[in-house]
Amino acid sequence: MVGIVMTRRGFIDASGAASAASLAAIAVPALAVLEASSSARVMGQPMPDGVKLPSTPGRRKRADSVGIAIVGLGGYALNQMMPRFAETERTHIAAIVSGSPDKLQRVGDAYGIPPDARYSYEAYPKIASDKRIDAVYIVLPTGLHAEWAIRAFAAGKHVLCEKPMALSSADCERMIAASRRADRKLMIAYRSHFEPYNLEAMQLMKQKAIGDIRLVRTEQSSRMGPTSPSKNWRVNRALAGGGPLEDYGIYGLQSALYLTGEMPESISATTFRPTGDARFAEIFAHVSSQWRFPSGAVAQLVTSYDSAGVNFAQVRGTAGALMMDPATSYSGQKMRLEGRDARELAPCDPTVQFARQLDHFADAVRDNVVIRTPGEMGLRDLRLIEAVYASAKAGRTVSLASDGSVRR
C-alpha cells in the first residue's frame, strides 16, 4: 500500500502499511507544554507486589511455536501476560530481559528459562544470535518502547509492543521504518481487538443494532495515590507522556474509533493539571476531548488519574444504545443493548483476550496472517493523541487530515 494516500476509512482499518504520504504528514509536537525532569532510560526495578510465580514451568505445544523474549518484568508482564502463555497454542517464553538480577533468577527459575536465555539490558544485543528467540515482547514503560523495539528489529527479531506504541508519532514512524527495513512484523498489543465483548460490540455497530450512531461517551479514570516523577514512571513525562490519556484513555480513544468505524474530522480538547501536587508535576490529571466525525456523530472522551475509578463506553444511536461498563478491563465485562433490540450480552469469557492476542501474533510471524493491530494503528492513535494535546494547548478546535494528523 506504500505510495497510496489512505482514506479516512483506511485509517480505521489500519491493517495495511502506512503510506509514504501519510508518514510525511504534518507533525505536531506533542506536549510541548510539559517539561520532563529526566530522560527515558532503562532501570531495573524490584519484583512488583502480588506476583504469583508458577510452580511448574510452561511447555511449548507445537513445533512451530514462536519463541518470545519478554523485555521488562513489571506488573503487567508478570501478573497478566506471562501466565497466559500456558493458554496459547503457538507461543512460548524463550527468554527474559531485565535490569534486576534477582528477578532474572526468580522469574527464570519459575518459568524454566535456561540461565543463558536470561539477559540483562546491557546484554540485549546478544539476542541477535540466539536462535531460540523469534520475537520480543516490549513491556517497558512507554517512553522506552521505540528504542527497544528498534533495537530488536536491528537484532532481526519480530516485535509485539505494548500500548501505547510510543510517545510521539515521530517515534512510531521510526519503529515502522525499522520493521520494514528488517522485514520483521510489528504488532501493537491492543488486547480489546481479541476480547469477545468488544469484538461483538464492533459487529453490532456494523450491523446497525442501535441504528445510526449519534453520540459516543467513554471514560477511564482512577485515583492515583501520592507519588512523584522520580518514584513512579506513570507520572514521569519522559516515560509516560501526558499521563492518563496514553495509559488507559487510549482504550476510550480506540473504542470511539472501532465502534463508530470512522476517523474524526475535528477535535476540541482541554487538559487540567493542579499546581503543587507532585503527582501532576509533569503529567495531566484529566484530559477531556470532543470529537466530530464525518457522519455527524460526536464523541466525548474523558480520562483522569484523580477521580474515582470507572471504565465505560456508551454509544447512542437513532434506535437504541450500547452500554459497556466495564468496557475494556482484564475481566468482568458487562454489556447491554437498550432500545429496539434491548438485551444483556455475554459473548464468552473476556480473559481469552490475552492468549488470543499472543496466538494472533504467532500466526502473523509464522503464516504471514494480516495483523489486526499493526504499527500503523499505533501511529494513527499517536497522531490523534497529539491532536488532542495540540487542541488543548491552542485552546481551539483542530481540523484533522484523514490520517489523524492536524491540518495547518
Contact assessment for residue 237 and residue 331, using Cβ atoms and an 8 Å cutoff: no
Place of cell 495531566: 284
Query: Contact with ligand NAD (CB under 6 A): which of 92, 118, 163, 185?
Result: 163
Residue 234-263 contact track with ligand NAD, rule CB under 6 A, x = bound: -------------x----------------
Q: Between the CA of residue 202 and those of 210, 255, 318, what are the distances in Å? A: 12, 9, 17
- Our finding on whether 90 is near ligand NAD (CB under 6 A) is no
Query: Contact with ligand NAD (CB under 6 A): which of 14, 42, 117, 210?
Result: 42
Contact assessment for residue 205 and residue 261, using Cβ atoms and an 8 Å cutoff: yes
Q: Which of 111, 137, 157, 163 is catalytic?
A: 163
The residue at minimum Cβ distance from ligand NAD is: 74
Q: Which of 251, 258, 305, 389 is catalytic?
A: 251
Cell of 147: 528504542
Query: Contact with ligand NAD (CB under 6 A): which of 92, 157, 185, 191?
Result: 191
Query: Contact with ligand NAD (CB under 6 A): which of 72, 241, 375, 404?
Result: 72
Which is nearer to ligand NAD, 200 or 247 (by Cβ)? Answer: 247
Is 231 one of the annotated active-site residues of the chain?
Answer: no
Which is nearer to ligand NAD, 23 or 159 (by Cβ)? Answer: 159
Query: Contact with ligand NAD (CB under 6 A): which of 10, 58, 67, 74?
Result: 74
How far apart CA 237 and CA 222 sit, in angstroms, is 19
Amino acid at the residue 32: A
Contact assessment for residue 287 and residue 271, using Cβ atoms and an 8 Å cutoff: yes
Which is nearer to ligand NAD, 19 or 168 (by Cβ)? Answer: 168
Query: Contact with ligand NAD (CB under 6 A): which of 70, 140, 283, 379?
Result: 140
- Our finding on whether 70 is near ligand NAD (CB under 6 A) is no
Task: State the burial class of residue 79 (Cβ atoms within 10 Å of its Cβ: 0-12, 13-18, 19+).
Answer: middle
Q: Find the shortest distance in angstroms from Cβ 14 to ligand NAD.
A: 18
Q: Find the shortest distance in angstroms from Cβ 138 to ligand NAD.
A: 8
Give the interface segment with ligand NAD, choosing from 40-48, 53-61, 104-112, 211-219 (CB under 6 A).
40-48
Task: State the burial class of residue 187 (Cβ atoms within 10 Å of its Cβ: 0-12, 13-18, 19+).
Answer: buried
How far apart CA 210 and CA 259 sit, in angstroms, is 11
Interface with ligand NAD: number of residues (CB under 6 A):
22
Q: List all residues 6 or more positions away from 153 whose beta carbon is below 8 Å from its beta carbon.
A: 159, 175, 178, 179, 181, 182, 184, 186
Which is nearer to ligand NAD, 145 or 316 (by Cβ)? Answer: 145
- Our finding on whether 233 is near ligand NAD (CB under 6 A) is yes
Query: Contact with ligand NAD (CB under 6 A): which of 19, 65, 142, 179?
Result: 142
Is 208 one of the annotated active-site residues of the chain?
Answer: no
Between vectors from CA 350 to CA 175 and to CA 304, what angle results, nearest 5°? 60
Q: What is the DSSP string of 159-227?
A: EEEPSS--SSHHHHHHHHHHHHHHT--EEE--GGGG-HHHHHHHHHHHTTBTBSEEEEEEEEEEE--S-
Give the interface segment with ligand NAD, choosing from 5-13, 39-47, 297-305, 307-315 (CB under 6 A).
39-47
Contact assessment for residue 66 and residue 361, using Cβ atoms and an 8 Å cutoff: yes
Q: Find the shortest distance in angstroms from Cβ 71 to ligand NAD.
A: 8
Q: How many CB atoms lie within 10 A of CB 64?
A: 11
Instruction: Tell how far CA 368 is from the center of its chain.
Output: 22
Q: Find the shortest distance in angstroms from Cβ 123 to ligand NAD.
A: 14
Q: How many CB atoms lie within 10 A of CB 24?
A: 10
Q: Which residues bind ligand NAD (CB under 6 A)?
A: 42-43, 45, 48, 72-77, 98-99, 139-142, 162-163, 189, 191, 233, 247
Enzyme catalytic residues: 163, 251
